[in-house]
Structure 1
Amino acid sequence: MRWEVVAWGALALVLFAAEALAPGAFMLWIGIGAAAVFVLVAVFADIPLLWQVVAFVLLSVVSIQCYRQWGRTRARETDAPLLNRRAEQLIGRVVALDQPIVAGVGRAKVDDAFWMVAGPDLPAGTPVRVVAVDGMTLKVQQV
């Protein structure tokens, strides 16, 4: 077996193993480029090393771009779309103001956390409904 065939096969296996150890769907596509060059070099014996490297780079870039196009057009469905978006989970909840809203800014206690709130001026203790989120500030309206 020729050394370049073994080298491209070994590189493909190393890249696949790296993807298996640290998944992120990136080394896989470079490994596919190396595997494709492995097949080319195994079939066509007289490809110069420079052209092998050029083919590897081009095939890797093409495979990464194909994955990016395919991955971006496929939206992932989830049963918990607001997971890790805690503020947005609070929309619709009714809470009492901990501090009055003065000049459009106040504070409310939601469960065990205090949140900055924005809305019309209201006294402390007034029940308000969370209607929107702006960063870490809850937009509220009087109930």
Structure 2
Amino acid sequence: MRWDVFAWAAIALLLFAAEAMAPGAFMLWLGFAAVVVFAIVLLFSGIPVLAQAAIFVVLSFVSIQVYRRWFRKREKPSDQPALNRRTAALVGRVVPLERAIVDGYGRVQIADAFWEVTGPQLPAGAQVRVTGADGMTLRVEAA
């Protein structure tokens, strides 16, 4: 077997394995592009390595665009869009301040976690409403 045929088969398998280890539907489409290059190289010998790489890049781009335009639009929207975005899930909650907001910064406790907050000067114990987040810092206002 020729080394280039073997290399493209190995690249395709590695990309599929990477998709299985970290699913996200990105490596899958690169794997499909590698399979097509594998088939082209298997059927037509003598294609330069640079041309093989160029074919792979073009097919990768095309396959990802096919995914984005065709398959991604058909995905069902989530019934819990904030599931893995914890700060977004906290927006709208009303909680008491655990530490007063002084110079714009304070702290609240939500469940078993403490969160840094930014907002107007308020004493400890005041009820605040979470209005948004900047990274892991919640923005609050008086409730």
The bucket for the TM-score relative to the shorter chain is 0.7 to 0.9
Aligned to 1:80: 80
Aligned to 2:62: 66
1:37 is aligned, of 27, 34, 41, to 41
Which residue identity lines up with residue 12 of structure 2 in the other structure? F
How far does the alpha carbon of each residue in 1:104-133 deviate from its partner, in whole angstroms, 9 at most, with x for none? 211111111111111111111111110111
Q: Return the alpha-carbon distance in structure 1 between the equivalents of residues 89 and 40 of structure 2.
A: 47
Q: Give unpaired runs (5+ residues) of structure 1.
A: 42-48
Give runs of ≥4 in structure 1 deviating > 4 Å.
none
Between 109-118 and 71-80, the greater mean CA deviation after superposition: 71-80
Which residue identity lines up with residue 67 of structure 1 in the other structure? S
Tell me by how many angstroms 1:9 deviates. 4.5
Q: Is the 8 A contact 1:11 1:31 kept in 2?
A: no
Number of aligned pairs? Answer: 131
Aligned to 1:112: 112
Q: Return the alpha-carbon distance in structure 1 between the equivalents of residues 17 and 104 of structure 2.
A: 51
Q: Is the 8 A contact 2:32 2:63 kept in 1?
A: no
Q: Return the alpha-carbon distance in structure 1 between the equivalents of residues 61 and 16 of structure 2.
A: 20
Q: Return the alpha-carbon distance in structure 1 between the equivalents of residues 127 and 41 of structure 2.
A: 67
Q: Return the alpha-carbon distance in structure 2 between the equivalents of residues 135 and 20 of structure 1.
A: 33
Which residue identity lines up with residue 30 of structure 1 in the other structure? A
- Aligned with 1:22: secondary structure? helix
Which residue identity lines up with residue 95 of structure 1 in the other structure? V
User: Percent identity between the aligned chains?
Assistant: 36
Aligned CA-pair RMSD? 2.3
1:115-130 alignment, distance < 5 Å: 115-130=115-130
Aligned to 1:134: 134
Q: Is the 8 A contact 1:93 1:130 kept in 2?
A: yes
Q: Give unpaired runs (5+ residues) of structure 2.
A: 20-26
Q: Return the alpha-carbon distance in structure 2 between the equivalents of residues 78 and 122 of structure 1.
A: 37
Tell me by how many angstroms 1:65 deviates. 1.2
Which residue identity lines up with residue 101 of structure 1 in the other structure? I
The alignment's TM-score, normalised by the length of structure 1, stands at 0.75
The alignment's TM-score, normalised by the length of structure 2, stands at 0.75
Tell me by how many angstroms 1:142 deviates. 1.0
- Aligned with 1:122: secondary structure? coil
Aligned to 1:46: none
Q: Return the alpha-carbon distance in structure 1 between the equivalents of residues 116 and 87 of structure 2.
A: 11
How far does the alpha carbon of each residue in 1:18-38 deviate from its partner, in whole angstroms, 9 at most, with x for none? 233332333442232122222
